Structure 1
Amino acid sequence: MARRPNSLTEEDFESLEGRASKTEQKKAVQRMAALGAQLAELSAKQIKNLPVDERLIEALLDVQAISSHEARRRQFSRIGKLLRNENETVILSYLTPKQGLKKTAQLQRWVDRIVKDGDPAINEFTKTFNATERHTLRQHYLRVHRDLKNQAAEEEVNASKLKLFNYVQQVALISDN
């Protein structure tokens, strides 16, 4: 059987840029499930006041009544999938009081340092927060730098930095446990 000539072009790779691999998607669901576990620790009243889909609220309330380890794991996996459809910033704003303003300021300094220094700061952050996936963090960093290099609109740069901050905040919340 003859091999097909390599017909992939630069445009083909550019169209894939920004897409997450299956592994990254699975790890994102695991991160969201860990965030879901922290959301489940909120009181029933706080959960009911969350500005999220009704199915997610029901799932969070249901998990509090489940005692079987395997059933809880499956429920948190489901919660992680439901959280993918929600606004990360809103979810994190409900969990931020658990961290405190001092911790949030520290995480913002980490983001500024990562944007400024690159790989050395990424390596140090990875050592400090054990839940960090270096590849994902580096992808966020590269997106910010790409936007800065291409002199993208300020909104795009700020959106990239916000995604980086959200990731850093998620990792810090998960690593604290």
Structure 2
Amino acid sequence: MSDEHDKIPSRSQRKREADRLQAVGEKILGLTDARLAQLPLPDALRQAIEIARKLTQRGALRRQRQYIGRLMRELDVSELEEALQGLEGEDADDRAVFHAAERWRDRLVMEGMPALEDFFNAYPAADRQRLRQLVVAIRADAASGKAPRRHRELFREIRPVVAAGFEQDQDTGKMHG
């Protein structure tokens, strides 16, 4: 009789599991469409998520979240959690690349050619001529008091270079800065 009793989860255990599933559901609801498409979801759950995203009334949204939780209780959520962790890792990598590119852009704007040489040492595949032209133009614009519109252009030029370096460094374990 105690064996049967041990197999039945307590009410607290069931509530903890329901809370965990709800947290996973909330993460899924917060994903972009592109990220959502990458997850291994059954059609019924995918449709329930799409409906929840369209709802604006709090009560209806709460009921839809509960329905999503009920659908998730029927699934093996461990595979879904692994996929979510993988997506979160990708997001962290994207943020790291973005911030590194911002730091390089700011440094290139402030320091000019010395920073540009450091950038070329860190990223030898960068388009030297284009980046030199942009840095010179940005510094000339700053001297004449023009709007910093070329900052965005510089960022668009260096971000893919930094991203390529980041991906390459994932294998070696080092990071450009």
Pair in the same fold by TM > 0.5: no
Say which one has the larger Rg: 2
Greater helix content: 2
Q: TM-score, normalised on structure 1?
A: 0.44
Higher RCO (C-alpha 8 Å, min separation 6): 1
Q: TM-score, normalised on structure 2?
A: 0.44
